[in-house]
Structure 1
Amino acid sequence: MSPEAMDWQVRVIDLSDCDEVSSYMPIFEDATEVKVLAVGGESFTDKQLLQLTALKNLQLLILDCTNVSEEGLWEFSWKSPHVLIRLSQRRLLDRCDWSETCPGYFGNHRPFSLLPRELSYLEDDGIYGDKLMFFLLPHQQSHFVDAVAANFSSDADIISAAKHLTPSIRRIRLQGSSVTDNSFPALYDIARSAGPLQIELDNVSMSKESKCLLSILPHVLVRDWSSSESAQTWGCD
């Protein structure tokens, strides 16, 4: 292994699969040279995020499906304006094999080679985004993949995913009677923040009022497969 690669191993730390937040936070008291850090899970909150402001050499922070709030992100960015933040969906995307029958996520996705523009250059001796990707392992590279399609079969799935899906989502399929109005607020938040979005309904237990509110959004197309072999475009009468 080259000295350069060894140096990157020290400066890139991936703890995104570790839920024992209290056990690893103390290491950052001495990890002053870390440049890229990935953390994940619901147990990582605003409290831990703000402790990372002590990492003065940190350049890229990856938050993989954490429980960090918008307020926490704002405060961290104010205290550490030099740090780029990537909100990763990797934990959600790892739930299944991308097939349409999977109860999690499926379909095409944005390849990791298409990095956000602000990541194209990291100010550390001219370290470019593609060079960074070279030193990341395959599962770490998937931090830069966004879902464009999702398949949900329960309210719980929708609610748990709502705060992690990005505006890149283009198609959502809702299947089965376990999808009800209880998940409508979360679904509406996803739809409102997305770009052009198609929502497909397949025998869901959702009220006409909820379907109407979704279809009113100008960039959302709601198609209902419940009553016929061909989909019917839903609208408010």
Structure 2
Amino acid sequence: MTTSNVNVWFKCDVGPDHRWLMSLRSSLEEVNSKDSLLMCPCCEGKKVSATNSLEGRRPDLAGMWCYEKNEEAGLRGGPGGVMAESEGRIWVEKEGRVWEVDVREAVQAEGLPLPPPLPKKEVEVVLVEEKEDVGGEEKEEVVLVPAALHEEPPVQEKPVLEEEQKWKKKFTKVVGALKFASGFKAIMGLGFGKKKKKKAEVVEIVEEVEVEVTADAKQRRENKASILT
């Protein structure tokens, strides 16, 4: 009887797996409500099949299926168990990289989905020469520079060595002058006038070195700022 609750199998000619189980009463009610048409659930997108699955619609995309990540997400049927028009997300892999994509967008797009760009790494650059005294303590400035923009300045060994030798000579001269003044006083017992004259010469040398050191430090800071820019 057409009003029976017995379940029977129906099939559709669109695909070999377009088959579904339904009671006679339900099928009759559906036919009466849809103008004498019994709709196939596979064609309507209510049931996955070979024609509407991801594997059937986009075999190239199904080849990027990441089984490990998708099984963790509960998708254990493979690309043949996911409808191409579903609104879910799946994990794909290519060339050792794994990322997540929207199923519908990936199917409708032309070509294969591209992996997201790799995040830019940041390199911590410590500007040692930019230390300043703040409240009696040294403050060290730390700047984060993207790795792609960070370039080491060219190494010029010879000018650096010559610069160090120049400052070494000047400081040696100052120290020697101080030692000479104190030692000569102890041995010869210089008077107040000669001591004052010698001290003035030493102070003059120290001031000259301090001016040159300050100018050199300023130039180094400007060079460092231009490199970071």
Q: Per the shorter chain, which TM-score range?
A: under 0.3
* TM-score normalised by L of structure 1: 0.20
The structure carrying a bigger helix percent of its residues is 2
Which has the higher Rg, Structure 1 or Structure 2?
A: 2
